């Protein structure tokens, strides 16, 4: 039972480069999320998708775009990476948008030079 799978696990970018973080869940969850985690700042919501076909901004959406490709997959794109986007990124999912706990992927550690 894979749960939530994220790729890549590690990535180093130069300022201005673009990249996409991939996320897939096999729990038939409706809602999916992208968080970033920085030291001392906890988990901050970047974007979320309440259900297939919808996406909404979270607390820190600037510099990011997302795509809910289907019910299983939710990707996060950095169009022009900046050093401030150096962080650990977590994808998560839950059964629906209003209730239940979040299940997290293993995380993607991104460094922007």
Partner 1 sequence: QKEVEQNSGPLSVPEGAIASLNCTYSDRGSQSFFWYRQYSGKSPELIMSIYSNGDKEDGRFTAQLNKASQYVSLLIRDSQPSDSATYLCAVNPSDTGRRALTFGSGTRLQVQP
User: For residues 43 and 69, which CB has a smaller minimum distance to partner 1 in the complex?
Assistant: 43
> Binding partner 1 by CB under 8 A: which of 70, 106, 111, 113?
106
Q: Which of 35, 41, 12 is nearest to 110 (CA)?
A: 12
Least distance CB 2 / partner 1 (angstroms):
13
> Binding partner 1 by CB under 8 A: which of 24, 64, 68, 90?
90
Q: Which of 20, 25, 34, 10 is nearest to 89 (CA)?
A: 34
Q: Does 31 bind partner 1 (CB under 8 A)?
A: yes
Beta-strand ranges (E) seen in the chain are 4-7, 10-13, 19-25, 31-38, 42-49, 56-57, 64-68, 74-78, 87-94, 103-104, 108-112
Q: Does 40 bind partner 1 (CB under 8 A)?
A: yes
Least distance CB 80 / partner 1 (angstroms):
26
Q: Does 48 bind partner 1 (CB under 8 A)?
A: yes
């Amino acid at each position: 039972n894979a749960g939530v799978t994220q790729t890549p696990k590690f990535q180093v970018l130069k300022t201005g480069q673009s990249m996409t973080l991939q996320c897939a869940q096999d729990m038939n969850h409706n809602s999916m999320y992208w968080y970033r985690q920085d030291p001392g700042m906890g988990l901050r919501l970047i974007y979320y998708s309440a259900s297939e076909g919808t996406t909404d901004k979270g607390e820190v959406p600037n510099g990011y775009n997302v795509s809910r490709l289907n019910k299983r997959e939710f990707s996060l794109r950095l169009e022009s990476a900046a050093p401030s986007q150096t962080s650990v990124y977590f994808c998560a999912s839950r059964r629906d948008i209003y209730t239940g706990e979040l299940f997290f992927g293993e995380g993607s550690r991104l460094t922007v030079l």
